[in-house]
Structure 1
Amino acid sequence: MNFELTAEQTGFARSLDDLLSRADALAVNRAWAAGDRDPGTRLWSRLADLGVTALATEATPVEMCVAFEALGRYAVPGPWIESAAYLPVALPAANLSESWATVAMPYALDADVVTDVYAIVDAGLHQASAGDRVTSVDPSRHLFEVTAGEPVEHGDLDAAFDLAVLATAAELLGAGERVLADTVAYVKQRTQFGRAIGSYQAIKHQLADVRIALDFARPLVFGAAVDPSPRAVSAARVHCASASRLAARVGLQAHGAIGFTDEYDLSRWLLRIQALQSAWGTPAFHRERVLTSLLDAR
């Protein structure tokens, strides 16, 4: 099957890339982590104007994956998966294109800046209120405990969950691609013993392994977008988590200790990748989901 994007989808990807590069999304990430939400809120409005918040209900999962790969590539902060992937399907009657909302899984992301907080209780969706903040490995992800309240009418929560999982996979893919691109640029410039470190075979082989891992993950993401079955979605999630984790490990090894310092940009993607490893289901959960589906199909 051919997973090449159409001309319209490629144009949409270029528009997102242009907007996020001009918006200095990394500065937005740093401001969000420091508690300054205004740049992130302004960026959310610009992305909403481009249609990103309506993709879950007004476009196909392919366009949604294009958008979330860009969000991951630029480390855009905010409850995007919750507000633009999960809740539009979980609450089809609600108008979520005008405001942010979040849902606890099990903690609520950025519950202090959204208009509505929800929690999943006994396979149902409930209104919730934010409690104490919980420390996240990614400083741009502000997590909160919640207290569930009254139940609300909801749509297909299983379909909403699968779309959120797919969005997480696409965001991991985008983050992994950014780490690889930045690492390749770094090893071409960094010299040791009079040579660029990228000229050493050991570095080349590790970067090639990352390139292969990401190239194998990408068709799984867009294959699941074309046919978003639970098995396909979980398989994409597993491979994107693995590929992005490999990109983060190799990127850190190539950069050395500087790569993990707060002042160095790479750390933003390393921490985002680490935080997303367990978001919307751990790799172990999704592997079991794939295995169960395969066994049931025998």
Structure 2
Amino acid sequence: MSPPTDEQLTLAATVRAVVAKHAGPTAVRAAASSERGYDEKLWALLCNQIGVAALAVPEEYGGIGAGLVEANLVLTELGRALVPSPMLGSAVLAAHVLLESKDADACARLLPGIAEGTTIAAFCWADASGWSTPGPLVESDGTLSGTAHYVLDGKSADVLIVAARASQGVTLFEVDPGQDGVVRRTSPGMDPTRPLTVVEFSEVDARPIAAADADRTLARVRDIACAALAAEQVGAAQGCLELTVDYTKSRVQFGRPIGSFQALKHRMADMYALVETARSAADAASASLDPADCAVAKVYCSEAFSHVAAEAIQLHGGIAITWEHDAQLYFKRAHGSSQLFGQPDEYVERFAAGQLAEQALT
């Protein structure tokens, strides 16, 4: 794993500057409670001036062709301030479903708009129990019926990419969400800055997306999702740590800032160590996309962020659990994101099974 290049550092710094200027706490709350669930003007600014949605899209489909590492750098900076955006759901997750399917026609038709940020795509692949099996069903006449849960950007999506169970196995479809028979409703979750959607399909027309091996595509997309989420979690943990350090510098007790007390210094040093080791795990996953690295990042970054957020609540005291304070938003993001794409213990079991399989072959 090589250190970040000058171009990557500049990208991260530029996104950080834009977020600092346009996505303060008040703006984040307003965006999260808006109809679309994110700030459309900020998203347009990030796409038009920096090209964040185009980073992981190849040039032949209207993208920049940088890669997932660069896209994840953006997610880290957005996570630092808890900025709601279609970056994870549309520009990373849905875009990579199309790329991994290797359906050139679908990629040429959909990816340019996703790369521009003018088309928001949502991937529907979970049922009520989670992400282990596709949610909606496909009927024999080529229409979809069923329900997809926990859909990122589902409420604002211009196009839905659906993983469905069919007679021949898992199949990918493109669905126009504006047609009759598609009902979208917001699913209340712990994290108000990450709106999730339930999408109901009732005999809706669906356009097949050709994938030579849909199961392999889903497995690969799951790894990509875990790596991207880990990068975002690292940024959020970093932001949570910075919020806590700033508070302990200004909160005075017994005539001195509480941050000067040795016991609190030790706790914040532990928080810093967790953030940096989580960063290493996330960087390794982004660079390799090895299933084992992605499973480790999913588990470790989820647990590290949850611990950092819990410590932030403790070190802030009672003020941290008030609605007006941002610490509770980081706490909710930590616990909500740890469940996204599957609970950490599922990945522990998957990692262990993979290691046993490797040992059996050696």
TM-score (norm 2): 0.77
Q: Over residues 54-92 of structure 1, what are the superposed CA-to-partner deviations in whole Å (9 max), with x where a residue is unaligned?
A: 222222222122111011012111332120111112123
Count of aligned pairs:
297
Paired position in structure 1 for 2:73: 66
Q: Which residue of 2 aligns with 1:138?
A: 191
Deviation of the 1:265 alpha carbon:
2.4
Contact 2:244 2:316 in 1 (8 A): yes
1:109 and 2:162 are equivalent in the alignment: no
Q: What is the aligned partner in structure 2 of residue 56 from structure 1? A: 56
Q: TM-score, with normalisation over the residues of structure 1?
A: 0.92
The 5-angstrom pairing of residues 161-240 of structure 1 reads: 161-240=222-301
Task: State the 1:27 CA deviation.
Answer: 3.0
Identify the structure with bigger relative contact order (alpha carbons < 8 Å, sequence gap 6+): 1
Amino acid at match of 1:152: P
2:133 is matched with which residue?
none
Task: Mark the CA change 1:154 to 1:22 in structure 2 (over 3 Å): closer, same or farther.
Answer: farther
Matches within 5 A, 1:203-282: 203-282=264-343
The 1-side partners of 2:306 and 2:327 are apart by 13
Contact 2:189-2:196 within 8 A present in 1 as well: yes
- 2:209 alignment counterpart: 153
How far 1:151 sits from its partner (Å)?
Answer: 5.6
| Contact persistence 1:31–1:37 (CA under 8 A) | no
- The alignment's C-alpha RMSD in Å is 2.0
**8 Å Cα contact 2:16-2:77 kept in structure 1:** yes
Gaps of 5+ in 1: none
* Larger gyration radius, structure 1 or structure 2: 2
Match of 2:83 among 76, 80, 83: 76
Q: Are 2:226 and 2:341, in contact at CA under 8 Å, matched by a contact in 1?
A: yes
Q: Do the aligned partners of 1:138 and 1:268 also contact (CA within 8 Å) in 2?
A: yes
The Cα shift of 1:25 comes to 4.4
| Structure 1 position 231, deviation (Å) | 0.9
Contact 2:77 2:235 in 1 (8 A): yes
Report how far residue 38 of structure 1 moved: 8.8
Any stretches of 5+ residues in structure 2 without a counterpart?
A: 58-64, 100-106, 127-148, 212-216
SS of 2:199's partner is strand
1:75–1:175 contact (8 Å) kept in structure 2: yes
Using the TM superposition, give the Cα deviation of residue 245 of structure 1 relative to its aligned residue in structure 2, in angstroms. 0.6
CA distance in 2, matches of 1:151, 1:288: 35
Deviations 1:125-180 (A, max 9, x none): 34363433321111222222112443630553332222121111111110000000
Change (3 A) 1:45 1:255: same
Could you list the structure 1 runs, at least 4 aligned residues long, displaced by more than 4 angstroms after superposition: 36-39
Q: Deviations over 1:240-285 (max 9, x none)?
A: 1111111100000001121122211222222222211111121112
Q: Could you say if the C-alpha distance between residues 187 and 290 of structure 1 is closer, same or farther in structure 2, counting changes exceeding 3 Å?
A: same
Asked if 1 retains the 8 angstrom alpha-carbon contact of 2:38 and 2:85, the reply is no
Quick one: distance in 2 between partners of 1:44 and 1:163?
22
Instruction: Note the 1:112-123 alignment, pairs <5 A.
Output: 112-122=155-165, 123=170
